[in-house]
Amino acid sequence: MDFSQFVFNLQDHSQFVLNALLAALLTWLLSLYYNRYGRAVGNRSKFSHNFILLALTTMLIIYIVKSSIALSLGLVGALSIVRFRAAIKDPEELTYLFLVIGIGLGMGANQSGITILAFVLIMAILILRSSTQKNKLKSLDNQMVLSVSSRLANEAQINTILKTHFSGIELRRLSQDNGDLRITYVVEADSIEQISIVKGALLEADAAASISFIDNKNIAH
């Protein structure tokens, strides 16, 4: 293949390049929103780093197989072999992944107009929900993830302790297995001393309790 043929082939796929750039832009904007306003417990920044790659990979697959029944059937066979074991612990994470995949599907099928329109509408709804939702956690800078595992303390005791010492708390996950109560909160902590006081109060309720604070906003630095 000489240079002129190479340039001609690139021109044939110019729409793909444009759609890929649009997909990357949309998923980048989505990752910014998710990092700022996402409510999932965990490292949202690390999770959102996969958005652009996932969208572009989905787009590439759809672009390749959309015009070939044989390739489509081959893709079905390949996906029946591959098993993904990623643990999605929060429904919000799954929702954002579906949105990213939807962007890739739309761009790969050359439906850029409806994809952009849908993205704008979805983001408008998300922003409206974030602005109107009464969030117990008003200060994003002081958010920390608190995990408590206890056999003796019950949920009401733990909630009372946290409400006494923290200006804002939000329950994210609760499970009980063989007498072990496991609860995950996002709390608004103002200082390291405040965290120490809460830890002491929780240990008074159950000396064998397992307590962990995860610093997402560098409050402990």
8 and 111 housed in the same domain: yes
Residue 118 located in a structural domain: yes
Residue 220 located in a structural domain: no
* CB-based burial, 113-147: b 16+ in 10 Å, e otherwise: eebbebbeeeeeebeeeeeeeeeebeeeebbbbbb
Domain count, the chain: 2
Residue 102 located in a structural domain: yes
Last residue of a domain, one of 132, 159, 194: 132
Render pLDDT for 200-209 as a digit per residue (tens, 0 to 9). Answer: 888 888 888 8
The residue segments making up the domain with residue 210 are 140-215
pTM of the model: 0.59
pLDDT computed for residue 6 by the predictor: 44
* CB-based burial, 3-34: b 16+ in 10 Å, e otherwise: eeeeeeeeeeeeebeebbebbbebbeebbeeb
Contact 34, 111 (CB under 8 A): no
Average of per-residue pLDDT values in the chain? 78
28 and 104 housed in the same domain: yes
Residue 208 located in a structural domain: yes
Name every residue whose Cβ is closer than 8 Å to that of residue 64 and which is 6 or more positions away in sequence.
Answer: 71
Per-residue pLDDT band at 153 (split at 50, 70, 90): confident
Nearest one of 130, 51, 129 to 97, comparing CA atoms: 51
126 and 162 housed in the same domain: no
Render pLDDT for 14-55 as a digit per residue (tens, 0 to 9). Answer: 888 899 999 999 999 999 988 877 776 666 778 888 899 989
CATH number reported for the structural domain that contains residue 169 in this entry: 3.30.70.120
Contact 40, 47 (CB under 8 A): yes
Last residue of a domain, one of 132, 158, 177: 132
Residue 221 located in a structural domain: no
104 and 194 housed in the same domain: no
